[in-house]
Every structure is written in C-alpha cells, then in structure tokens.
Amino acid sequence: MPLTAQVIVALCAALLVAVADIRTAIGFSSFGVLLYYLVANLAAFGQSGSARRYPRPFQVAGAVGCLALVATVPIPALIAGAAVFAVGILYRLVRLRVEAVRRG
C-alpha cells in the first residue's frame, strides 16, 4: 500500500506542476503541509502530562501559526487544497459507512 500511495502522490504532483502555475502548485503543497502541522499541534495539545514534551502554549502557538500562514496561501491553491481535503473526508466517511453496513 505505501508504494501505491507514493505513486499516486507523485502522479498528482506531476500533473499539478504540468497544468498549474508554479505559485499555485507551491501554495497547494504549502496548504497540505500546514494542515499536517496543524493536526500534529492539535494532537500534541491533547497529550497527557507524562507524554507531553513541551507546555501546551507551544502547541497553541503552533496551531495559530499554521492558521495564520494558511491565510497567505494563494486563493486558488487554498480552494484546491480544501477541495482535496473535503474529498478525502467524504471518502473516509463513505468507507466507514460501507464497513459498518457489512458488519451488520
């Protein structure tokens, strides 16, 4: 599975660079990376005291920083990134529903 995911991502990246303005492609990539870091900061915020490496204000600052930087992404890249994210969430919800129906 990891190989399949890598090939799909590589093909999508090549297609994006081929058809989009390079600034949009970079913005789209930035959106994805910032979203990833936002999730990481939110996950770290939820850790208990013994598992925590840094105080919670660091995760809050990191999450706010990610959101502030997303505001600088070009609008077309922001829209494309949000659309891809929405498709991923929809796909996941459909898969969960299908699995729940199969289990009865």
pLDDT by residue (tens digit) across 53-97? 889 999 999 999 999 999 999 998 899 899 989 999 999 999 999
| Annotated domain spans of the chain | 2-103
What is the pTM assigned to this prediction?
0.73
- Residue 19 dihedral angles phi and psi, to the nearest 5°: -110, -15
Residue with tokens 């077309």: 76
Look at residue 77 in the predicted model and tell me its pLDDT. 87
Look at residue 89 in the predicted model and tell me its pLDDT. 94
- Residue 90 dihedral angles phi and psi, to the nearest 5°: -60, -45
- Per-residue pLDDT tens for 3-58? 888 998 889 888 877 887 888 888 888 999 999 999 999 999 999 888 888 899 99
Q: Which of 35, 23, 19 lies closest to 82, judged by CA? A: 35
Q: Which residues contact 61 (CB under 8 A, 6 or more apart)?
A: none
What Å distances lie between residue 61 and 49, 57, 67, 94, CA to CA? Answer: 18, 6, 10, 34
